[in-house]
């Protein structure tokens, strides 16, 4: 099994096609007004229409409301949650939208990394990320070696 590659922050067709050409596994599209890479539902529709099925389309969300998710759900295979979603909310999203769920875990230290365990039974994948999605902060990846993670996971930051 080879490592999977996810590139986040897609905003234009040229970058998307370059990523596809280089065999990326996942493409992330950000829906967060504070991000410079924030997209509208119309932009998402246009950008995702020519992505082959073998490349998974990920909607990156931060505390998104159901009304907004309803507008974009058909363009994505999976929702990546970067907000304060709890287990109950994750179950609601899975049931209502029938999409894969990736839960982001902000890692500042070993204790914060261990918070993944509360989500592991409900999500399809985890992503361990630096403390702030928009910063170039990084974390000590060695922390993950101490954890017993049974779900597939991505590492960012």
For 131, how many CA atoms within 13 A lie in the half-sphere containing its CB?
8
Indicate the domain borders of the chain: 6-155
Strand partners, 154: 127
pLDDT value, residue 1: 54
pLDDT tens digits for range 78-111: 999 999 999 999 999 999 999 999 999 988 888 8
Instruction: Report domain 6-155's class.
Output: alpha beta
Q: Which of 67, 76, 82, 64 is nearest to 123 (CA)?
A: 82
pLDDT tens digits for range 61-84: 999 999 999 999 999 999 999 999
């Amino acid at each position: 099994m080879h490592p999977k590659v996810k590139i986040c922050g897609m905003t234009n067709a040229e970058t998307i096609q370059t990523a596809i050409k280089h065999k990326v596994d996942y493409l992330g599209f950000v829906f967060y007004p504070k991000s410079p890479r924030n997209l509208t539902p119309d932009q998402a529709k246009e950008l995702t229409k020519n992505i082959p099925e073998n490349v998974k389309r990920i909607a990156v969300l931060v505390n998104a409301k159901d009304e907004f998710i309803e507008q974009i759900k058909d363009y994505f295979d999976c929702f990546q949650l970067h907000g304060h979603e709890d287990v109950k909310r994750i179950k609601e999203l899975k049931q209502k939208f029938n999409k894969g769920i990736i839960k982001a875990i902000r890692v500042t230290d070993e204790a914060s990394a261990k918070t993944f365990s509360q989500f592991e039974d409900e999500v399809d994948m985890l992503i361990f990320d630096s403390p702030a999605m928009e910063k170039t902060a990084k974390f000590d990846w060695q922390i993950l070696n101490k954890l017993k993670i049974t779900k597939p996971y991505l590492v960012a930051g």
